[in-house]
Amino acid sequence: MPRPMPRPFLRPLLLAGFAAPLALALAACGEPVALDPARETPPPSPALLREAGLIEAPRTPWAALEPFYDQFAYDIPRAPSGPPLPGPDRVLTSIAFGSCNTPERAIPILDVIADAGHDLFIYAGDNVYGDARAYDATLPELRAAYHQLAVRPEFRRLRAAQPMLAVWDDHDYGMNDLGREFAFKGFSERLFLDFWGAAEDDVRRTREGIYDAHVFGPEGRRVQVIVLDTRWFRSDLTVTDERGAPGRERYLPSEDPDQDMLGAEQWAWLEEQLRAPAELRLLVSSIQVHADGHGWEAWRTLPRERDRLYRLIRETRANGVVIVSGDRHASGLYVRADLTDYPLYEITSSSLNMPFRDEHDEPGPHRIGAMYAPENYGVAAIDWEAGTLNLEIRDIEGRTVREQSVPLARIGALP
């Protein structure tokens, strides 16, 4: 009787529709053969290889799979077109944002947001739920989820009403809590950029990750929006030793010196952005930064990286930073006054249509007041004349249910 194939070797064969291409691609990911040390001629450069009609061996699964995706025929999901992003002379006074949005059910809060007349809306992650549960490299679940969102009438109304920015989180990246090891993230990135209408010359199409930044408004009233990619480069998390226990539900903080959240290139890019001139800066992280009261995914699981973020804000002397986050299926306001020479606020808004409970009040040493669990979205309301920023959580009717008023001068956004 033939011996059964070991289970680890079955996975490539289970990837629907392209077992052979995937096996060949992954086989090509090894290191190049070592050169004879006695040779004096240096190894050929990538340019020389291309001139000779050869290519350098891909070093990663997603790079190896790229030729397969280039010839893969599929119906590209695209969001309907919407208003262009505000120009450099447009003064922003109302920026809305939200996360955790499934197109499998109605999203009535999007109609409320569309009618509110905000200057900009930011999808802060988990914009669809398209987890690659079949582990099929063509990502049929993610493609289907994007197609569903594209035709939802509430989404189409919001898309037509307000300019949008977007960043992904785990459920529109690949799978729950996944980071840099997701083998199909190159195709996920392509789907994201195509859906959200990124131009062919968009810089995100030429580099790894979907981090992005924009500055809106004239000098004296400039708002910089920085969206971080907390998925593509993030190292593995440390699984809890007491699953479900309060504060240790899924993950524990790790002091591993090799841990990473943003990757070297994104860290260098972020430093440049924080040094750029602006009065107010919204730093968008799909996962929470300040929150310490839970054991779910957050920056707290990589404390060295969180300290690096705080240190970078401090060392660049970046004024007017306010953190925007999502992910948690509940909202909250947070502040830390021990990190920079001004209070560093965070507003978490989640979810748009996926509430898990009616109340959610986990321990929160840095939180301002109670969390809010039903459907909600966030608003940064800026009154430049009065010199105030109001951070608001609004409910499904558009009513403000949590808020924090912040003098712009207090966070260095105005003299």
Give residue limits of the domains in the chain: 8-71, 94-411
Q: Is 270 exposed, middle or buried (0-12, 13-18, 19+ CB in 10 A)?
A: buried
Strand 344-348 relative to strand 321-325: parallel, antiparallel, unpaired? Answer: parallel
Q: Which pLDDT tens digit goes with each residue over 229-255?
A: 999 999 999 999 999 999 999 999 999
Average pLDDT, rounded, for the chain: 90
Superfamily for the 94-411 domain: Alkaline phosphatase D (PhoD) (3.60.21.70)
Q: What is the spatial distance between Cα 42 and Cα 32, in angstroms, rounded to a whole number?
A: 14
Q: Which pLDDT tens digit goes with each residue over 23-56?
A: 444 444 444 434 444 445 566 666 676 677 766 6
* Residue % of the chain over a pLDDT of 90: 82
- Residues 160, 161, 167, 171, CA torsion sign: negative
3-state secondary structure of 405: strand
Alpha carbon 391 to its chain's center: 21
Name which of 128, 119, 178, 165 is nearest 284 in CA terms. Answer: 165
* pLDDT exceeds 70 at position 2: no
* Residue % of the chain over a pLDDT of 70: 87
Tokens read off for 85: 């992003």
Across residues 358-375, what is the average pLDDT?
A: 93
Q: What is the pLDDT of residue 18?
A: 45
Across residues 66-75, what is the average pLDDT?
A: 94
Q: What is the spatial distance between Cα 283 and Cα 289, in angstroms, rounded to a whole number?
A: 10
Strand 223-227 relative to strand 321-325: parallel, antiparallel, unpaired? Answer: unpaired
C-beta of residue 270 within 8 angstroms of C-beta of residue 259 = no
Tokens read off for 158: 């919001």
